[in-house]
Amino acid sequence: MINFEALSFITYGLYVVCSGDQDRGNGFISNTFLQVTSDPPRFATCCNKDNFTAGLIEESGHFSVSVLHQNTGPEIYGRFGYRSGKDINKFDGMNLKFGATGVPIILDDTISYLECKVIQKVDVDTHWIFIGDLVDAQVLDKTNEPITYSYYREVKKGVAPKNAPTYIDKSKLENKT
Binding site for its own copies (CB under 8 A): 2-7, 9-13, 31-42, 44, 46, 67, 111-114, 120, 122, 124-127, 129, 131, 134, 136-139, 146, 148-150, 164-169, 172
> Cα separation of 157 and 79, whole Å?
17
CB of 68 to its own copies, least distance (A): 10
CB of 160 to its own copies, least distance (A): 8
Question: What angle is formed at CA 82 by the lines to CA 99 and CA 121, rounded to 5 degrees?
Answer: 50
> Cα separation of 82 and 41, whole Å?
31
**Considering beta carbons, is residue 88 or 139 the nearer one to its own copies?**
139
CB of 23 to its own copies, least distance (A): 27
Q: Is 164 within 8 Å of 137 (Cβ atoms)? A: no
**Considering beta carbons, is residue 24 or 42 the nearer one to its own copies?**
42
**Considering beta carbons, is residue 4 or 95 the nearer one to its own copies?**
4
CB of 111 to its own copies, least distance (A): 5
Q: Is 61 within 8 Å of 154 (Cβ atoms)? A: no
**Considering beta carbons, is residue 47 or 56 the nearer one to its own copies?**
47
Exposure on the CB side of residue 90, measured as CA atoms within 13 A: 29
**Considering beta carbons, is residue 89 or 172 the nearer one to its own copies?**
172
CB of 164 to its own copies, least distance (A): 7
> Cα separation of 177 and 66, whole Å?
36
Q: Is 121 within 8 Å of 96 (Cβ atoms)? A: no
